[in-house]
Structure 1
């Protein structure tokens, strides 16, 4: 990730997103983007490495989990999901297995399972 997100900004963005969800409203795009990137940053800090690419389009992507490093093209281990799913599994509001079984997580590769590093504790 290019720029580290300040903890206060990340937590504030998470609060804004949670408040919008609780009110049944769509969260502001900037808050959603900041919350997603903040949680990706926390994942990177918790499980540094280069063997799995976690993508949450269009907001961000990070390479995590120690193991073989890829240098070109699509990495062999990719996890991709939308922002709402990422927030839910990253915060422990939904189990990884349930989100994956419902098809909201696309995971390919032998290391593309984040159950051992989630949830995160912001």
Structure 2
């Protein structure tokens, strides 16, 4: 039995795999004003589709749906199997409120009730 697969069939299988990853992913990367679908995310980086996404560099924002997850400084690697991988140089978690500038005791009251 031969395991040879022609280039056309290999390209079609790869396109179907990328389309499935793209459809299932909620992750997006924001560069300037444009959003691009993230195919996969791991601890040290992420992958996007090589053909439809321009070369990214510098500071980008990662979103899960509408939730801002990370602000990242990225560097690119070589494309592989229709994907371009990016590695994090810096990856900072996004927060929705400003950090406290003083220590708050866990048992401290959250507020004061008025006297009536």
TM normalised by structure 2 equals 0.31
Greater Cα radius of gyration, structure 1 or 2: 2
Tell me which of the two structures has the higher relative contact order, counting C-alpha pairs closer than 8 angstroms and 6 or more residues apart: 1
Counting helix residues as a fraction of each chain, which structure ranks higher?
1
TM normalised by structure 1 equals 0.30
